[in-house]
Structure 1
Amino acid sequence: MNSQAIALYKKRRSQYALGRELPIGRDEATQLIKHAVREAPSAFNAQSSRSLILHGAHSVKFWGLAKDALRRIVPADAFAATEAKLDSFAAGAGTVLFFVDSTVVQGLQEKFPLYADNFPVWGEQSNGMAQFAVWTALADAGIGASLQHYNPLVDEAVRHEWGIPESWTLRAQMPFGSHQGGFGEKAYIDDDARFKVFA
């Protein structure tokens, strides 16, 4: 199959070896992330995804906050591995934090009570699509990234440090930067386990 979209999806991989030198400028990277989030679909065109884009020292600061939070719960004799992992994320050029705005979700629940139970689920699905859109766009630009989940441990620190509204719920973090390492072969489960096709 010759599909440009599928080729892009295959290009998107988890890159843990990150550096600070991006193949595009910082402003261009910011615009790329914004466009990707903007174009991600959402149920009822809710547009409930929000993003905090951190470059340079701000990104390093975030991973320092994550380190402080984890130091309080990870046993001291096991913390070195955790610290090394967080330092690898901080070594990148930036980090995107993904949020769901609960006021949008709640507003839709009130406006369309028949679907009230579904809107939180749809908000999460939309946020996942925004994450995938950003990750794919970064990969297309030659920028490495991975998806991390240190929420809710860092939520309050992030809210305080960058003035994040109470209605924004943190869902994922995406450190990004230059590729400083390669990728292993990707494994796939059997199609028979994944798909059922009737024609």
Structure 2
Amino acid sequence: MTQSVLEAVKVRRTYYGLSKETVTSNERIQEIVRDAVKYTPSAFNSQSARAVVLFGAQSDKLWDITTEELRKIVPADSFGPTADRMKGFSAGSGTILFFEDQKVVETLQEQFPAYAANFPIWSNQSSGMLQLVIWTALEQEGLGASLQHYNPLIDDEVKKTWNLPSEWKLIAQMPFGKPTFQPNPKEFQMHEQDVRVFS
């Protein structure tokens, strides 16, 4: 019996220990990302999500870029842990970049001015759903992943390196690969008032 959607969400974790060892094909990963972008809901069916999948040396290049951008702002005498973190991300087999097309967002703002302030918020919410869908699906394939946010620090260099449209806004980065160790048990801080029910 296949695992339920909720069970899959429950077991999804953040993996920092990654390797480049093959777990599933690059084609399968591309299929997951394409399907997730296609089927994840968006406000007004805007379909503003964009994704870039980087494998191998291309993924390594992203983390080299991030390392060099961080070197400009992190003091040299405390850069060691930062460099180690970047090496951990580049140890994986790939990275997914999540974007939102601002041209789509701005067009909707013009078409529906009463909701103009909400469209950037809804765009980010849709991106968050997409990230969770892909993250969970990758884990179902035996891959580990984490979610990183080095934007806007790396935005310009990323668009320049991969010749991406200027209206694509970088939202998050997801390094993935075969897990090399299991994360610690997850801790929960559930409070009585977190969920309120009225019937």
Secondary structure of 1:171's counterpart equals strand
Is structure 2 residue 55 aligned with structure 1 residue 55?
yes
Mapping for residues 41-190 of structure 1, pairs under 5 Å: 41-190=41-190
Is structure 2 residue 23 aligned with structure 1 residue 14?
no
Q: Residue 198 of structure 1: CA displacement? A: 1.4
Identify if the C-alpha distance between structure 1 residues 191 and 4 changes in structure 2 by more than 3 Å, giving closer, same or farther.
farther
Provide the C-alpha distance between the structure 1 equivalents of 2:160 and 2:93, rounded to a whole number of angstroms.
22
Counterpart residue identity of residue 126, structure 2: S
Structure 1 range deviating more: 188-197 or 167-176: 188-197
Provide the C-alpha distance between the structure 2 equivalents of 1:117 and 1:13, rounded to a whole number of angstroms.
33
Secondary structure of 1:23's counterpart equals coil
Q: Residue 110 of structure 1: CA displacement? A: 1.1
Secondary structure of 1:148's counterpart equals coil
Ranges of 4+ aligned residues in structure 1 off by more than 6 Å: none
Provide the C-alpha distance between the structure 2 equivalents of 1:12 and 1:190, rounded to a whole number of angstroms.
18
Give the aligned length. Answer: 197
Provide the C-alpha distance between the structure 2 equivalents of 1:98 and 1:193, rounded to a whole number of angstroms.
33
CA contact (8 A) 1:33 1:137 kept: no
Q: Which residue does the alignment assign to 2:37?
A: 37
Structure 2 spans left out of the alignment, 5+ residues? none
Counterpart residue identity of residue 14, structure 1: T
Provide the C-alpha distance between the structure 2 equivalents of 1:155 and 1:67, rounded to a whole number of angstroms.
13
Provide the C-alpha distance between the structure 2 equivalents of 1:40 and 1:73, rounded to a whole number of angstroms.
36
Q: Which residue does the alignment assign to 1:23?
A: 23
Structure 1 range deviating more: 3-12 or 117-126: 3-12
Q: Residue 11 of structure 1: CA displacement? A: 2.0
Q: Residue 67 of structure 1: CA displacement? A: 0.2
Q: Residue 90 of structure 1: CA displacement? A: 0.2
Provide the C-alpha distance between the structure 1 equivalents of 2:182 and 2:138, rounded to a whole number of angstroms.
16
TM-score for the superposition, normalised by structure 2: 0.96
TM-score for the superposition, normalised by structure 1: 0.96
- CA distances 1:160-181 after superposition (whole Å, capped 9, x unpaired): 1001111001010000000111
CA contact (8 A) 1:11 1:140 kept: no
CA contact (8 A) 1:92 1:177 kept: yes
